[in-house]
Amino acid sequence: MAHGHQDWCLNAGGDVLVSGTQASGQPWTVGIVDPDDRSRLWTQIDTHPGRMAVATSGVQERGEHVWRMVSETTFTQVTVAAADIETADVLATAILGGGIATLELVQKAYDIDVLAQASDGTVWASPIFSA
């Protein structure tokens, strides 16, 4: 681990990667910002092996920064929890750009959990986010 440290949390622009646990022994808790009110938390999840990385892509903070496919379902925010930050970050952005078809495809192909909100307010949530 980094310079001998086994327990750490790195937050880079809202993408979070953790190792180990907090000093209390509790898992790291990652908050997800409400896509409709950036001053509030929408939900939170506790990390665990296989879900040590959480990344969010959305249009609220940086506007329409991702080319998006023409689709009946356009997402405004997508959060992916995965084992590694590369998978979480790339797939959150891919789902944001690709809509429901991409969401369905990657959920079959990758071991991930997803929380997504569509522009009409519809929410897709894996059980880890529903708890």
Sorted by where each starts, the structural domains of the chain and their CATH numbers stand as 2-130 (3.10.520.10)
pTM above 0.85, yes or no: yes
d(CA 15, CA 31): 11
d(CA 19, CA 47): 9
How far separated are the first and last CA of the chain, in Å rounded? Answer: 31
| Percent of the chain whose predicted confidence (pLDDT) is above 70 | 85
Q: Is residue 98's pLDDT more than 80?
A: yes
Q: Is residue 26's pLDDT more than 80?
A: yes
| Torsion angle of C-alpha atoms 87, 92, 95, 100, degrees rounded to 10 | 110
For 113-122, the pLDDT digits (tens) are 999 998 888 9
d(CA 6, CA 77): 31
Q: Is residue 130's pLDDT more than 60?
A: yes
Q: Is residue 1's pLDDT more than 50?
A: no
Q: What is the pLDDT of residue 72?
A: 58
Q: What is the pLDDT of residue 14?
A: 79
